[in-house]
Amino acid sequence: MPFWAFQVWIKAYNMLSAIIAITLLAAFFGMVLGISAIIFKVKSNPIVDEIDKLLPQTQCTQCTYAGCRPYAEAIAKGEAPINLCPPGGEQTIHALADLLDVEVLPAPEDEGPKEPTVAVIIEEQCIGCTLCIQACPVDAIVGAAKQMHTVIESECTGCDLCLAPCPVDCIIMKPLKDTPITWKWPLPQNHANHPLLVSKTATVLDKSGAIG
Ligand code: SF4
Ligand code: SF4
Ligand code: SF4
């Protein structure tokens, strides 16, 4: 065998050995990881999952817990009542009461429906400190260190948790603009006294003979 052919053979042999060694190592570590994943798998509590599904997932922390999941865990452990979620309102309380077969509790202080809002960053004032990104529970803010930040409107839940950390107060909350999908007819003011409703009620009462 000529010397050059011997050199080629040695190189090919070394390369093949390295490929086989790496493949065997990858297979070994893959197997170890797979077995570890099965042995050390953390089983999630199905009732916590069910409760969590009923919560609004705005992660606003108004329930005094660090987010919807921690609140769900506290409910499942019996450490928290089912009426601590203002964004969920009565609908969530009823759903939780049905799920857990417990008594319906009164909704937290009724402040009336909150106007949906969205955070807006005044971009020319942003110093790129990234504090708002760290505060946002739903990753609705994009930006990088020392670069301008902005809010992804469709992801923002309006929780306003990003306002306080901003050192230059360049985040404001704005009412969410209606879209053809979200727009609804406004309820008439004093609708109980609305002439149409009053006349309809009078007609019904007349026909039933309840009055007059
Ligand atoms: S108040 Fe409701 S929506 Fe907000 S974090 Fe708590 S459970 Fe989630
Ligand atoms: S951008 Fe601000 S208001 Fe919007 S979800 Fe994030 S923290 Fe809440
Ligand atoms: S906290 Fe304020 S200044 Fe800092 S990155 Fe966010 S918007 Fe910009």
pLDDT value at residue 117: 87
Q: Give tens-digit pLDDT for 131-186.
A: 999 999 889 999 999 999 999 998 898 888 899 999 999 999 998 877 777 677 76
State the Cα angle at 60 between 100 and 88, rounded to 5°.
Answer: 40
> Does the predicted TM-score (pTM) go above 0.85?
no
Distance CA 138, CA 149 (A): 15
Q: Report which of 92, 48, 113, 70 is spatially closest to residue 83, judged by C-alpha positions.
A: 92
- Residue 75, amino acid: I
208 has a pLDDT exceeding 60:
no
In this chain, the answer to whether the domains covering 46-100 and 115-180 adopt an identical fold is no
Kindly state if the Cβ of 121 falls inside 6 Å of ligand 3: yes
Q: List, in order, residues 6 or more apart from 119 with CB less than 8 Å away.
A: 140, 141, 151, 156, 158, 160, 162, 163, 171, 172, 173, 174
Nearest atom in ligand 2 to the alpha carbon of residue 58 is 5
- Residue 47, amino acid: I
pLDDT value at residue 109: 63
Q: Report which of 82, 89, 32, 34 is spatially closest to residue 58, judged by C-alpha positions.
A: 89
Nearest atom in ligand 3 to the alpha carbon of residue 121 is 7
Kindly state if the Cβ of 60 falls inside 6 Å of ligand 2: no
- The residue ranges of every structural domain in the chain are 46-100, 115-180
Q: Which of 69-83, 90-104, 131-145, 179-193 has the least mean pLDDT?
A: 179-193
**3-state secondary structure (DSSP) of residue 119:** strand
**Where are the extended beta strands (E) located within the chain?**
117-121, 141-142, 150-151, 171-175
Give the closest residue (by CA) to ligand 1 atom 7: 68
Strands 117-121 and 141-142: unpaired
Q: List, in order, residues 6 or more apart from 136 with CB less than 8 Å away.
A: 161, 162
Task: Taking residues 96-100, report their average pLDDT.
Answer: 94
Kindly state if the Cβ of 61 falls inside 6 Å of ligand 1: yes
Structure token digits, residue 203: 């007609």
Q: Report which of 161, 127, 167 is spatially closest to residue 147, judged by C-alpha positions.
A: 127
- Residue 31, amino acid: M
Q: Give tens-digit pLDDT for 54-70.
A: 999 888 888 989 889 99
- Residue 133, amino acid: I
Which ligand has an atom closest to residue 150 CA? Answer: 3
CA 69 to chain centre: 10
The partner residues of 121 in beta bridges, in order of sequence, read 171
Give the closest residue (by CA) to ligand 3 atom 2: 166
CATH code matching the domain that covers 46-100, chosen among 1.10.10.60, 3.40.50.10800, 1.10.15.40, 3.40.50.1580 = 1.10.15.40
Third-level CATH fold of 115-180: Alpha-Beta Plaits (3.30.70)
Pocket test for ligand 1, best of 62, 64, 82, 111 (most atoms within 8 A of CB): 62
Q: Which helix (H) or strand (E) holds 6?
A: helix 3-39
Query: pLDDT-based confidence at 209, cuts 50/70/90?
Result: very low
Give the closest residue (by CA) to ligand 2 atom 4: 156
